[in-house]
Amino acid sequence: MIQTATAENATAQRLFEKLKGVAVGTSGPYTWERCVELAPLVDEINRLKHEKNAVILTHYYVHPEITVGVGDFVGDSYKLAKDAKSTNASIIVFAAVKFMAETAKCLNPDKEVLVPSKQNGCSLADAITAERVRELRREFPEHTFVCYINTSAAVKAVCDVCVTSSNVYDIVQRIPSDKIYFLPDKLMGENVQDEMKRRGVQKDVQIFSATCYVHQQYDPERVLRLRGKYPGLKVLSHPECSPDVIRHADHVASTKGMMQYLRDTDAEAYLLLTECGLAGRAQVEMPGKTFIGPCVECRYMKSNAMQDILRVLRAPDEDDRIVLSDDVREGALRCINAMFHYAEMSG
Ligand code: SF4
């Protein structure tokens, strides 16, 4: 690693400018000393990215030092899928979880897609297999199978249409079938049922039984307690939270939608009912705003570490690489492209 003290100092300065005051869960508080410690790693990763024509895609939920220091793209699953589709880089490093990297591989079969974290699962994606979906399809032969993006490529390959939290309601409404089987998220499925009723859309929506272990921890009593304590509080909820929680929210949206709401409004304080990382990102982008309340961290997203990003850029192991069979890739791509088709439909 060849870096001058001056270059490292400039990097530390840049990190500190963005990260000072950011403190959520285990991410921070970021001190000057911490930024000085991170600077050589950040410089080396950015140098290798350039040398190897690599890009780093980062989900909002990973540690802010990653999104700020080395991320080329930051966003939610839908935005990152689109970013993966548009990049000209030869290597994609996906600092998030494995199912997202698999989506990137489906869209970029000729590119090397690397996952830096070894603990890259997801309580939703790990809850259902392709074999289980085949059984369900035999049980519900007339239903259109809609899978949340939080599923493996193998599961997508045996479903009809994929959705993300930013487009799930519109896509379920637009699919020209009145029988939908939604998997794997039970709570999001219940929210889909409620939203279809609210929109006056008649559909039989059957749902699977998995949950996101992070979002299911929020409860309505906690929201009511905080509302009592902070008059003027705006509560933003992710559709992976339970319908009981969502009923107490001022706004329900994907992480991208929540960020947009924060940019567009000016409340005294905000409570973000999603993984902690979003509050971290919001503090980076909107240092003048106040975020209160406890948040829950996702152990999978938080297992992404700067050292592992450097390791996979230098010399990836076999199990850092995403490899999909042609059948799985083509099947999953059909399901993902159906999402782009319905998402980009007007009305
Ligand atoms: S926050 Fe929940 S849905 Fe997202 S990766 Fe973690 S476990 Fe999966």
Question: Within 13 Å, how many C-alpha atoms sit on residue 186's CB side?
Answer: 11
State the pLDDT confidence band at 4, using cuts at 50, 70 and 90. Answer: low
Specify the pLDDT at position 168.
95
Helix (H, G, I), strand (E, B) or coil at 264: helix
> Could you tell me if the CB of 213 is within 6 A of ligand 1?
yes
Q: Which residue has the higher pLDDT, 191 or 6?
A: 191
pLDDT score of 2: 45
Given pLDDT bands bounded at 50, 70 and 90, which one contains residue 226?
Answer: very high
Mean pLDDT score of the chain, rounded to an integer?
A: 94
pLDDT for 347: 56
Is the whole model's pTM more than 0.75, yes or no?
A: yes
Cis amide linkage into residue 64, ω under 30° from 0: no
Find, among 273, 270, 266, the residue nearest to 238 by Cα. 273
CB of residue 76 inside a 6 A radius of ligand 1: no
Q: State which ligand 1 atom lies nearest to the alpha carbon of 240.
A: 3
For the segment 327-346, what is each residue's pLDDT rounded down to a tens digit?
Answer: 999 999 999 999 999 998 86
For ligand 1, what atom is nearest to the CA of residue 123?
7
Predicted pLDDT at 288:
92
Q: For residue 153, which of 81, 254, 219 has the smallest C-alpha distance?
A: 81
| Nearest residue by C-alpha to atom 3 in ligand 1 | 212
Best residue among 99, 166, 212, 241 to mutate for probing ligand 1's pocket (most ligand atoms within 8 Å of CB) is: 212
Contact 96 CB / ligand 1 (< 6 Å) = no
Q: Which domains does the chain have, with CATH numbers?
A: 5-120+302-316 (3.40.50.10800), 125-211+325-343 (3.40.50.10800), 215-296 (3.40.50.10800)
Tokens 């992710």 correspond to what residue? 238
Is the beta carbon of 97 within 6 A of some atom in ligand 1? yes
Is the minimum distance from the CB of 123 to ligand 1 under 6 angstroms?
yes
- Determine the pLDDT at residue 5: 61
Cβ–ligand 1 contact at 298 (below 6 Å): yes
pLDDT at 140 > cutoff 90: yes
141, with CB counted inside 10 A (0-12, 13-18, 19+), is exposed
Is the pLDDT at 248 greater than 50? The verdict is yes
